[in-house]
Structure 1
Amino acid sequence: MQQQATYLYPKTMLRMAVGCMFFIAGICFASWASRIASIQQTLGLTDAALGAVLFTLPVGLMLSLPFAGWVISKTGSRNLLIIAVTFYGIALVGLGSARQIWQLITCLLCFGFASNNVNIAVNTQAVSAERLYGKPIMASFHGLWSLAGFAGAGIGTFMIGKNIIPQHHFIMILIVMIAGVVYCSRYLNNDKSGASEGPVFVMPDRSLIKLGIIAFCSLMCEGAMFDWSVIYFKKVISAEGAWIGAGYTAFMLTMASGRFIADWFAHRFGLKRILQVSGSLTALGLIIAVACPYLYTAIGGFLLVGFGVSSVVPMVYSAAGRSKTMSPGVALAAVSTIGFIGFLVGPPVIGFIAGVTGSLRYSFMLIAAMGVSVVVVSTKAKLS
């Protein structure tokens, strides 16, 4: 294939570089998620107001679609990834520096814009690496993203414990991100992976739409857990001190570990079965956390949710990359875009429901419903 002919370094260097970029992207988003409660308190936002502000993220995503498609079609995913990751880190520092609501909204718009560009570019690089290896490795990349989220949660907990303000915390993360980009940029695939002469955005066919819906439901759960798990433990569970981040840490731990075994599990039991089990675990975990709002039961529920969402997205992205009706890059961009909308829409929707009902417990039942939806759609879809 073209990737094998044009890539100048050992394929292990490409895998290392792409994995590093996944890790960088994960720790950036996790750093923001770990300090949402701090920023909410600093700006004096209610749950409903926070939900409204968080809705800026999907707006930034939608604005990024023409840009991402145009850059990949002209220069490939490597250049887009380098630019987007750098901008992602700068936007993160902006979030920590916001002192007015309008400043937070502006930075969230930029953060969402950069986040989707990173998502599309890094997954396109991952598809290129997977073709070069000739075997499924997508889940391991997403495992690194989740591992970074776990590390970011731990760092965030440490920063909170030491009373380090988000601005200083995020500046440290930006320095790490820039160092990673500088080192790994030379090893990324520069074959214009995903580039084409066709339109910037192509509507996916029915099979890809179903994959996108599955990704949407799972990523909606994932996004809600990122943004609201700390607040749930603080306000519903009434956790104290470092235990406020226990649910988020538990979720990230099982999500990361689950993704490192996802390729083996899918090979043995099939894509449909792994999606059915994943959706069921997600729903069950949230039901436990909502029905039994106590520290240890909630931690156990969040552990199940982490296992539930761990396999869905990498398996769906890998299946999209094997599409026979569209090129891998275009198919992946379409499916990941549908899914990522769920990732960014979920948190503000949770906030709105919490504001209307006056309880985060009721809003978290929406996440359980999304887990059930994964089971229903994957059961009806034709999946190999």
Structure 2
Amino acid sequence: MKGGTLPDDAGPTRVRRDTDPVGARHLRARYAVSAVFFVHGASVATWAAEIPRVQERLGLEAGELGLALAGPGMGALLGSQLGGWLVARYGSRGVSTVAAVVLCASLLLVPFASSAGTLLVCLLVLGAADAATDVGMNSQSVVLQRACPRPILNGMHATRSLGAIVGALSGSLVIAQGVPVRQHFAVVALLLAGVCLAAGGLLLPAHHDHGAGPRGTGRRGPTGSRPRDRGVAARWRAVGPLALLAFLAALVSDIPASWGGVQLRELGASGGVAAASYAVFSAGEVLGRMCGDRAVARYGWARLIRTGAVVTAVAVAVTLPTGQAPLLLAALALTGLGVSVTFPGAFSGAGALPGVSPGAAIGQVTFAGRLGWMAVSPLVGGLATVFGLTVALAVLPLAALGIALLAPVTEPPARGALDASSPVSTTTLHG
């Protein structure tokens, strides 16, 4: 050493993380896909907030509205399958961006509906774009997860929940101010579409979807190589347990939204308390997802999902027979907390299946989840007609027990060592 300076070979040079172009690119993509999750939640919540005013403007009877509201579910079944195929073929960046913009644009169509039939068509488009966005953004998240040394999927889904809260609260404020539906949807659609277009350019391109390696290893296959996908029947056999997990998670998640308030009213709760049922569930869900990534890193997907499902089953099974509204509200909060990581875990598991395109697998998991949401109302309603609502709601703890049994399928399958010729990427996500 001379003149108080270190020679060039004095030791390894410490590179600042923010100067790493690869790490910075992945970090930007992580923020970008979080923005898409937020847009997804906000756009759907914006539509939901305006349903009563749309019904009033069109003069729809309850039966006509019910027919129109089947549109998002039917569109979602198509969109989830189409989205999976498009991600497998073109990558998650394009699907996430285009589908999210179409989702925002579909809000512009709704105010121009003139009947239950035209509203149904508009909502078919909205539902298809909603599900395709779901597939695209979760596929991109799985790619990012593989390059990240710690779990991130729960945080992504928490962002979607926050978007839904913002969309619902802003919708309530706009409605209270008497802003017309058309102006409300136009402003929201333009703002959210702008966010999607800005975020789309920062997402990882298609070769990352096709070249990703085992989850959590930071390794990739040959750049641009597509995984050898199985046939449709073989793929469904591989994805089937995860699809069933998503179906049961949808049952557990939607029952508080569709029937929690009804049950509270039957127990004598006020309208305000009954209306708070889904808010309480959502608060538990957001809390669970915000803390979920750290918990998954410590305990693993299977253990965390199983524990949450058992807590949910016990809480609801114990409180339902009591007929006490405060206890049921507490059980709904625990349900949101307990089921919060199940969907992210199912998507994570789908993205790690060997021999199956992650996009196709995530599309099928999304399809099963949408089927579960569609099944809730007829299933619980039919049982309630015969046995009463309290007995019908036993579906929730039973579905939670099913989730507990299926929890191990979210863990990645055992894999052999990667071929020595496969390049190893040292890419990691920072922050």
Q: TM-score, normalised by structure 1?
A: 0.81
CA distance in 1, matches of 2:95, 2:244: 26
Within the candidate set 80, 93, 102, 2:95 is matched to 80
Partners of 2:80 and 2:364 within 8 A in 1? no
Secondary structure, counterpart of 1:324 in structure 2: coil
Report the counterpart of residue 208 of structure 1 in structure 2: 239
Report the counterpart of residue 376 of structure 1 in structure 2: 405
Q: Deviations over 1:230-258 (max 9, x none)?
A: 666678765446x5642222222111110
Q: Which moved more, 1:296-305 or 1:213-222?
A: 296-305
Report the counterpart of residue 328 of structure 1 in structure 2: 358
Cα–Cα, structure 1 residues 197 and 318, in superposed 2: closer, same or farther, change >3 Å? Answer: closer
Q: Deviations over 1:122-158 (max 9, x none)?
A: 1111112112324321111111112222323333443
Report the counterpart of residue 219 of structure 1 in structure 2: 250
Matched, 1:253 2:283: yes
Partners of 2:301 and 2:410 within 8 A in 1? no
Structure 2 unaligned regions, length at least 5: 1-19, 211-225, 413-431
Report the counterpart of residue 55 of structure 1 in structure 2: 70
Partners of 1:154 and 1:249 within 8 A in 2? no
Cα–Cα, structure 1 residues 225 and 275, in superposed 2: closer, same or farther, change >3 Å? Answer: same
Partners of 1:51 and 1:352 within 8 A in 2? no
What amino acid maps onto 1:130 in structure 2? Q
Superposed, which structure 2 residues align to 1:15-94 within 5 Å? 15-36=30-51, 43-46=59-62, 52-65=67-80, 67-94=82-109
Report the counterpart of residue 105 of structure 1 in structure 2: 120
Cα–Cα, structure 1 residues 172 and 209, in superposed 2: closer, same or farther, change >3 Å? Answer: same
CA distance in 2, matches of 1:167, 1:364: 38
Partners of 1:66 and 1:200 within 8 A in 2? no
Q: Which moved more, 1:169-178 or 1:141-150?
A: 169-178
Partners of 1:286 and 1:368 within 8 A in 2? yes
What amino acid maps onto 2:246 in structure 1? A
Partners of 1:52 and 1:351 within 8 A in 2? no
Cα–Cα, structure 1 residues 197 and 140, in superposed 2: closer, same or farther, change >3 Å? Answer: closer
CA distance in 2, matches of 1:104, 1:358: 34
Report the counterpart of residue 331 of structure 2 in structure 1: 301
Which is greater in Rg? 2
Matched, 1:276 2:306: yes
What amino acid maps onto 1:158 in structure 2? L
1:277 positional shift: 2.2
1:322 positional shift: 2.1
Report the counterpart of residue 348 of structure 2 in structure 1: 318
Cα–Cα, structure 1 residues 292 and 369, in superposed 2: closer, same or farther, change >3 Å? Answer: same
CA distance in 2, matches of 1:9, 1:145: 23
1:261 positional shift: 1.6
1:11 positional shift: 1.8
CA distance in 2, matches of 1:338, 1:101: 27
Partners of 1:275 and 1:312 within 8 A in 2? yes
Partners of 1:284 and 1:304 within 8 A in 2? no
Cα–Cα, structure 1 residues 26 and 228, in superposed 2: closer, same or farther, change >3 Å? Answer: farther
Superposed, which structure 2 residues align to 1:348-367 within 5 Å? 348-349=377-378, 352-353=381-382, 356=385, 364-367=393-396
Partners of 2:32 and 2:200 within 8 A in 1? yes
Q: TM-score, normalised by structure 2?
A: 0.73
Report the counterpart of residue 180 of structure 1 in structure 2: 195
Taking only aligned residues, the RMSD between alpha carbons, in angstroms, comes to 3.7
Q: Percent identity, aligned pairs only?
A: 22
Q: Which moved more, 1:345-354 or 1:180-189?
A: 345-354
Partners of 1:285 and 1:303 within 8 A in 2? no
Partners of 1:51 and 1:349 within 8 A in 2? no
Report the counterpart of residue 428 of structure 2 in structure 1: none
Cα–Cα, structure 1 residues 258 and 65, in superposed 2: closer, same or farther, change >3 Å? Answer: closer
Matched, 1:135 2:150: yes
What amino acid maps onto 2:402 in structure 1? S
What amino acid maps onto 1:261 in structure 2? C
Partners of 1:317 and 1:335 within 8 A in 2? yes
1:21 positional shift: 0.4
Cα–Cα, structure 1 residues 320 and 72, in superposed 2: closer, same or farther, change >3 Å? Answer: closer
Q: Which moved more, 1:201-210 or 1:148-157?
A: 201-210
Aligned length: 376
